[in-house]
Structure 1
Amino acid sequence: MSDEKTADARSTDALGRYLKSVRLGLDLSLRNVEEATGKEVSNAYLSQLETGKINKPSPHILYALSTALGVPYETLMERAGYIAPSKDRPEGAKHGRAATFAIDNLTQDEEQALLDHLAYVRWHRNK
């Protein structure tokens, strides 16, 4: 696989994992998100996004999801590969995602682990 295709697969995987983490953190089902988007994003489509079966959603879909999930549109656009990733920011710049922007230079895996933990904490709190 070429470096470009590998980068695209990582980006798409990051988008799917991120969407699922946020959705679960908000204790929303796939159908809840479908309703929150005014049925612009079906639960089946969202499931395919989360599992990586759909790898390049349109900016329109990303906007609907950002509104429904309360996450920055720019974050979804970056994770979908439409805009430059934050790693291209100058050395020492804070990345500003999640609650992590007070911590310097997290890897994508470290950030995802924090988001997963946050989703668990929110889920546990709402039980």
Structure 2
Amino acid sequence: MENYGGYFKALRESKGMTLREVEKRTDVSNAYLSQLESGKIKQPSPLTLHKLSETYEVGYETLMEKVGYPVPERLSRKQEEDKGSIAYRVGSITNDEEVELLNYLKFMRSRKK
């Protein structure tokens, strides 16, 4: 994915978290997270991606794939076959559609508060 910064920002916002809250949960600095979301970090480390995957409740393989790391095909395919996944329920979606869905989820959650 060329510009995955928007994806990371949408993930964070869909959870209703600030950069500081993510920093506290992951021990990844607020400044680094900001640079990641703005696209200034070109290749985050697998360790950072693992911490973020746990915090955002997204598959580690998904984040690895988003930033361009190779992921074995069987792991990528397994996510699509998971009956709880969006892809299983609505079919394949583009990266842009995924970001829009995350933004909509953020909006829906903000209305409930």
What is the TM-score when the length of structure 1 is the normalising length?
Answer: 0.72
**Segments of 4+ moved more than 4 angstroms:** 94-98
Output the CA distance in 1 between the equivalents of 2:15 and 2:8: 11
Amino acid at match of 1:33: V
Identify if the C-alpha distance between structure 1 residues 63 and 12 changes in structure 2 by more than 3 Å, giving closer, same or farther. Answer: farther
| Higher helix fraction (1 or 2) | 2
Output the CA distance in 1 between the equivalents of 2:87 and 2:101: 8
Equivalent residues in 2 for 1:1-127, closer than 5 Å: 11-14=1-4, 16-37=5-26, 39=27, 41-84=28-71, 94=80, 99-126=86-113
- Count of aligned residue pairs for this structure pair: 109
Identify if the C-alpha distance between structure 1 residues 42 and 95 changes in structure 2 by more than 3 Å, giving closer, same or farther. Answer: farther
Output the CA distance in 2 between the equivalents of 1:29 and 1:98: 25
Amino acid at match of 1:62: L
Ranges in structure 1 where 5+ consecutive residues have no aligned partner: 1-10
Ranges in structure 2 where 5+ consecutive residues have no aligned partner: none
Output the CA distance in 2 between the equivalents of 1:68 and 1:12: 23
Identify if the C-alpha distance between structure 1 residues 78 and 68 changes in structure 2 by more than 3 Å, giving closer, same or farther. Answer: same
Alignment RMSD, CA only? 2.6
Output the CA distance in 2 between the equivalents of 1:42 and 1:122: 26
Q: Which has the larger radius of gyration?
A: 1
Amino acid at match of 2:25: A
SS of alignment partner, residue 106 of structure 1: coil
What is the TM-score when the length of structure 2 is the normalising length?
Answer: 0.80
Percent pairwise identity? 43
Output the CA distance in 1 between the equivalents of 2:100 and 2:81: 16
